[in-house]
Structure 1
């Protein structure tokens, strides 16, 4: 006996209950379709459309919609776009490349505009990459290659400013830009490295010359100080000798003056000494008189007188 599909249904679901099951399924589908409650998560906005036309923008939280309207979630969180090897050329025709990370977000007051013109989910990575390439070319063309290296911070600021103006056209706000892998051609980089090496050698030579000059100046200063010290010492010794000589001369002068003034006093002293000797003499002459020896108390000059 062949079993029909209806027999199989009857086997699992009795015919008396089948209509209730079908009715429940229909009600569930209708309830889901007509369910008016929707949720907009944090960091998003809800774009309400009706038959393709934008009817409004809903903030985060619970949203009640009629069944003929549709809610699309639109991200306003920070997004990032990777730009690899953006190329440009300096004003002195040196090719240059850079890789950047651009972080941006959609301005909340322009969600409807961005949804309608550029993106249904808030992702503008392709627009950001294109805009960054254009801005990088325009900015690097204003600098020479040496200036681009020496003024990298200013170059980065110029790129950020121009990119903000550019992405504002798409309703995006630039949060920050990270520049990385900033490089020139291998030939130019080799020339830069050689120039840096030469500059370092030149600075080292100048430092050595300055060191030698400083040592020479130090030696000259030491020699001048020693010469000054010797000269001061010689002047001091000469002054001391002159002072001593003057003192000695003055002493001799005073002594001579004293002797001249006191000659009579000395003569009296000599007479007193001779008298003292005469008082002590016993009247005997010495038995032996040597040549040149004085004869006591014999004053020939007085005897002649």
Structure 2
């Protein structure tokens, strides 16, 4: 019994002696791991376009700019806030792109229902990073409370100030009015960059009515154009006829004037000839003599006389 107990004691002593190095190795490994974790957790980086919020035991210590920084392991942590442009959408063709936001539905001033696709672009100013974290915790919560809950009502209010026709004809003005309205009610640490009303979809019945009205307007415009063309053709015909009439009138006046001048010339000639005959009675006989060829007629009417020239009495000879 004594030998057996001695052997048992010696085995226990050897087991205790062997467990001491194993335990020491585990403790050393744990210390090394703790040191590695402390070293790895003592530095961090902030990307360009982001800002960091340094928290010490949950309390805000400071806002951190981009770059490499150090912190106390386990006591401090960093939350990142993006300064990049963010987007909120309503009325997406694929509803999953809009998250939990409902479709944007509104009524125009003339009570026409419409579904709209609206996009709001915004960003957080660098100076407002601490305010965002303290009051909202994240950009998502900020967007939900400051923009997503207020913007739909403003869009519907502005849309209700337009009738269905004018909102289509004045898209740029409507878009600007919507952007101004959303910017006016956005009172949080956020900057509205732009607002786009990308699509306005009215009911099928209204769109068919608009299409029919536009078709009728096109037909009326076509008829007006045809009427205008006919009027132009008529004006051209009248102008051409007036031109021809003026031409005929001018020719008649020219002919009449020519006849008048010729008549006046003939009358003047006759008048001059008559005056000459009156002053010279023998001029007729002279003309006959000038025109006589000296031949007597070869045939004569019975009982007629032989033509002759009447010669005057010769003038007495001078002494």
Q: Can you list the C-alpha shifts for 1:227-275, whole angstroms capped at 9, x where unaligned?
A: 122112211111111111112222222333344445567768989999x
The residue correspondences of 1:61-210 to structure 2 (distance < 5 A) are 61-67=67-73, 68-84=75-91, 85-121=103-139, 124-127=142-145, 128-167=147-186, 169-210=187-228
- 1:158: how far off? 0.7
Q: Does 1:39 align with 2:58?
A: no
Q: Describe the shift of the 1:295–1:238 C-alpha distance in structure 2 as closer, same or farther (beyond 3 A).
A: closer
When residues 152 and 220 of structure 1 are mapped into structure 2, their CA distance, relative to the original with a 3 A threshold, is: same
**Helix, strand or coil for the counterpart of 2:238?**
helix
What residue ranges of structure 1 are gaps of 5+ in the alignment?
1-6, 278-285
Hey, what does 1:51 align to over in structure 2?
Answer: 57
Q: Within 1, Cα distance between the matches of 2:35 and 2:158?
A: 63
| TM-score, normalisation: structure 2 | 0.73
In structure 2, what is the Cα distance between the partners aligned to 1:32 and 1:149? 59
Q: How does 1:235-254 map to 2 (within 5 A)?
A: 235-254=253-272
Q: Does 2:48 align with 1:29? A: no
How far residue 38 of structure 1 moved from its aligned partner, in angstroms, is: 2.4
Q: Quick one: distance in 1 between partners of 2:299 and 2:84?
A: 144
Deviation at 1:31, TM superposition (A): 2.2
Aligned-residue offset at 1:191: 1.6
- Please give the alpha-carbon distance, in whole angstroms, between the structure 1 residues aligned to 2:175 and 2:273: 99
User: Offset of 1:159 from its aligned partner?
Assistant: 0.5
**Worse-superposed segment, 125-134 or 184-193:** 125-134
Of 148-157 and 71-80, the range deviating more from structure 2: 148-157
Seen in structure 2, the aligned counterparts of structure 1 residues 29 and 202 have a Cα distance that, compared at 3 Å, is: same
For these two proteins, the number of residue pairs brought into alignment is: 278
Secondary structure of the structure 2 residue equivalent to 1:92:
coil
Contact 1:46 1:58 in 2 (8 A): yes
Matches of 1:43 and 1:72 in 2, distance apart? 14
* Change over 3 Å in CA distance of 1:264–1:86 after alignment to 2: same
Shift of 1:77: 0.3
Give 3-state SS (helix, strand or coil) of 1:206's partner: helix
Query: Are the equivalent residues in 1 in contact too, given 2:88–2:148 (CA < 8 A)?
Result: yes
CA distance in 2, matches of 1:83, 1:110: 26
Where in structure 2 are there 5+ consecutive unaligned residues?
1-14, 92-102, 314-319
* TM score, norm. by length of structure 1: 0.76
Q: 1:228 aligns with which of 243, 246, 266?
A: 246
1:52 shift after superposition: 2.2
The SS at the match of 2:150 is helix
CA distance in 1, matches of 2:235, 2:287: 72
Give the distance between the partners of 2:287 and 2:205, measured in 1 at CA: 116
RMSD of equivalent CA atoms: 3.6
Matched residues in 2 for 1:90 and 1:273: separation? 111
Aligned-partner SS, 2:149: helix
